[in-house]
Structure 1
Amino acid sequence: MKTDTTLIHFGRGDQSLEVRSVNPTVMRASTILFKDHATWQKYRELRKTERVLSYGARGTTTNFELEKLVCKLEKGYRAQLFPTGLAALAMVLLNYAESNAHFLITDGIYGPVRSICNNFLKRINVEIDFLKADASDVEQKIKPNTKLILCESSGSILYEVIDLPKLCEIAHKHSIPVAIDNTYSSGYLLNPLELGADISVIAATKYLSGHSDVTMGIAVVNQKEWKNFDKLPEMFGFTTSPDDAYLVLRGIRTLSVRMHKHEQSADQIVSFLKTRSEIKNIFYPKLASHLNHEIFMRDYKGTNGMITIEFDKNISKDSVIKFIDNLELFSIGASWGGYESLATQTIPPRTEEDLSKSGVFVRFHIGLGDPEDLIEDIKNSLDVLK
């Protein structure tokens, strides 16, 4: 079954019923009732290895349907829902955290992960080293006590691309699990577990939901590394609303058509941006000039709607902010992956020295509006800079 068909037919409950709804129903519950003590004990035992009803905080049938669908998309062993993408990444880190452990994390990782490292992991004597954003220096930085490699590809500001099969081959040679933030591809453009990764994390807040009205994270794990991933959320009191699971299930059905639309519109807008002298660099993995472009074209099925531009050094930050404020069809807001278009001034993970030589960066999320209208909006706003 191909991906587009999987998006339609998985995660829809028991399809053998004679009469049923198109979408799975929302099951809201905290307490789950059992007919007798023996049944209660049976399900407490079953939940150690299976997805079964036992207590609402561990998920309801609505949550389970979403887990099954995303697990199928990512070709994993099991999936676990979290209230946010950051919570899912935090649980990955905590699962391997122990005193004197060493973690390697790529420099392009989602920014708040650094706060977890600085404010918690270092306090329990977990040593953190940051790799280059493309992880090209991983072999030199592995230590005997390295317990985890966490990467993000493509990155969410400059879209750094990692040679994931090579990274996983090196890591597994040292018996180190590899986790990846796969939100850029969201289970559609890239399947990291097929390329050797052990854990794939997606912020379902973004493309899986597609409507900017829910927050959620999902970790998909292979069988070897699944241990504890269904236990940690309960230990820390993390639970995910079945209403949110329903919203993501509803949104994910159109993931394919939305991703193609995002990409087609982004392609058109990149072509326009290349004509503008105000713009020094365009970061978009389909461009031949993009770092590791050939790896992207080898491993990925396409791009999403993300584009970052670097303005010419002579254009001030105040002017760039004026450019953003003058846009009419692009809103200002955190996150991405919804139907709306966004533009935000951003600072990539670069050294102070590199940033001092750089222009101002703006990240666009290209939504589902007509690309010609979006291009005209950008053009009109750029013309104000003259």
Structure 2
Amino acid sequence: MADMKKIIPAHSVTHLIHHPYQPPGEFDSPQPGVFKASTVYFPNVAAMRQREWKNKSGYTYGLHGTPTSYLLEERLCALEGGLQCVLVPSGLAALSTVALALLKTGDEVLLPDNAYGPNKALAEGELKSFGITHQFYDPLNAADLADRINDRTRLVWLEAPGSVSMEFPDLLALTRICKDNNVLCALDNTWGAGLAFKPFDLLGDGTLGVDISAHALTKYPSGGGDVLMGSVMTRDPALHLKIKLCHMRLGLGVAANDVEAVLRSLPSIGIRYKTQDETGRALAAWFQLQPQCAQVLHPAFPESPGHEHWRSLCEISGKTGLAAGLFSVMLSPQYAQSQVDAFCDHLKLFKIGYSWGGPVSLVVPYDIGAMRQAWPTHLKSGTLVRFSTGLETAADLIDDLQQSLLANLPLS
């Protein structure tokens, strides 16, 4: 019987689809190849039945992984210190995947009151409708977290620093409380990015770490402001399998070209992170000298809430601490919201927009009073404005800030 795989079809259209040519495999270059697939071929039925995707030993379907997505997952593990990773379509999808994988009706999740807004909205919306309760704890008071943990608590979210207001919690103490109570703790590690500290090795000696790290790859790993993606990382195989199976059942996947974009940007993340950190500090220091500014919120500044916790975590072993390119300022309460909005509108180099970690500096005013259970006592009164530094020079950005302050926030 003839080998049908070697028969040349009579029609050219069929021939071009089933052409036998395969390029040689010995090829290497700085950027990895991009594999796009829904269907994945098997050499025979036995291979189809035996191949396993859960441990990355084989390929079964594009949604479960390709060489391209496996490569990014492994490189992210090297960055953050994890052992297993799944990719999801956004940072928020990373947070929701953790919740859906680990929580069920009757369970409770605890979140810091300064958590990323959409994560709080998830708890107040879908999770509540599923019969999952939640509480918000004071991130700067470890005892408050300890008091709120109960026999229904299954998950505690950590965030360092807090979203928008930039308080840095005692991450070591919060993690220990979770461990002592046998409750899983998940960290939104987007700010730290695997560079400011290692989420699975907080002390640098392998004795203390979070259970889960969720990361919005949209920010520093992408670096271009043009990719939406997230990751969920663990070190425990059983925990990872729970998350991976939920990930599979939800049908979550990411586009190969988006993975390619992150892979291309990832090698420069250390340089970009450090540069944007330096620029952010220069701008925050400049704001400290401006009379229109009531308070600067930057974890690396001694006056910022939780600065001592940042130092204990990010300056261990004598290293110079990193602090990303994100900071907020509280503008004096003498200025109306309309004046603060005009200040933001009048900036030329800073663009008004959410997210951060890209090449362009961003600015957004926030209503902290509407975002918290009560006005935090460590924040002075006024209107908060958050800045994300891009890759512009600090001098040019300061000039831009100066011209808008003079035009819109006059001194009385």
Whether the TM-score (by the shorter chain) exceeds 0.5 is yes
SS at match of 1:230: helix
SS at match of 1:65: helix
Q: CA deviation at 1:18?
A: 5.1
Counterpart residue number, 1:140:
147
The correspondence for 1:273, drawn from 268, 271, 287, is 287
Counterpart residue number, 1:286:
300
Does 2:81 match 1:75?
A: yes
Mapped partners of 1:154, 1:298: distance in 2:
13
SS at match of 1:167: helix
Mapped partners of 1:336, 1:217: distance in 2:
14
The correspondence for 2:233, drawn from 193, 202, 220, is 220
The correspondence for 1:103, drawn from 109, 112, 137, is 109
After superposition, the C-alpha distances for 1:200-251 in whole angstroms (9 at most, x for unaligned) are: 0110000110000100001111215213221212211211111111101111
Counterpart residue number, 1:85:
91
Mapped partners of 1:317, 1:352: distance in 2:
19
The correspondence for 1:169, drawn from 172, 176, 179, is 176
Contact 2:330 2:380 (C-alpha < 8 Å) held by counterparts? no
Counterpart residue number, 1:116:
122
Structure 1 counterpart of 2:360, one-letter code: E
The correspondence for 1:47, drawn from 38, 53, 74, is 53
Contact 2:155 2:186 (C-alpha < 8 Å) held by counterparts? yes
Counterpart residue number, 2:29:
21
Structure 1 counterpart of 2:42, one-letter code: F
- Distance change in 2, residues 1:140/1:354 (3 Å): closer
Does 2:244 match 1:230?
A: yes
Q: CA deviation at 1:51?
A: 5.2
Aligned length: 368
Contact 2:53 2:64 (C-alpha < 8 Å) held by counterparts? no
Structure 1 stretches of 5 or more lacking a match?
A: 1-16
Mapped partners of 1:347, 1:32: distance in 2:
49
Does 2:386 match 1:378?
A: no
Q: CA deviation at 1:73?
A: 1.3
Structure 1 counterpart of 2:388, one-letter code: H
Structure 1 range deviating more: 351-360 or 25-34: 351-360
Counterpart residue number, 1:13:
none
Mapped partners of 2:165, 2:374: distance in 1:
16
Mapped partners of 1:64, 1:307: distance in 2:
34
Contact 1:155 1:184 (C-alpha < 8 Å) held by counterparts? no
Which residues in structure 2 correspond to 1:299-314 (within 5 Å)? 299-300=313-314, 301-314=321-334
Structure 1 counterpart of 2:263, one-letter code: L
Counterpart residue number, 2:165:
158
Structure 2 stretches of 5 or more lacking a match?
A: 1-24, 203-208, 315-320
Q: CA deviation at 1:352?
A: 5.3
Mapped partners of 1:164, 1:151: distance in 2:
8
Q: CA deviation at 1:134?
A: 3.1
SS at match of 2:191: coil
Q: CA deviation at 1:287?
A: 0.7
Mapped partners of 2:297, 2:272: distance in 1:
21
Structure 2 counterpart of 1:370, one-letter code: T
Mapped partners of 1:295, 1:281: distance in 2:
19
Mapped partners of 1:252, 1:304: distance in 2:
16
TM-score by length of 1: 0.92
Q: CA deviation at 1:347?
A: 2.5
After superposition, the C-alpha distances for 1:59-117 in whole angstroms (9 at most, x for unaligned) are: 21111100000011111120110000000100111112112111111112110112211
Percent identity over paired residues: 30
Structure 1 counterpart of 2:28, one-letter code: R
SS at match of 1:228: helix
Mapped partners of 1:129, 1:123: distance in 2:
15
Mapped partners of 2:160, 2:189: distance in 1:
6
Counterpart residue number, 1:62:
68
Does 2:200 match 1:193?
A: yes
Counterpart residue number, 1:127:
133
- Distance change in 2, residues 1:229/1:51 (3 Å): farther
Q: CA deviation at 1:357?
A: 7.6
TM-score by length of 2: 0.86
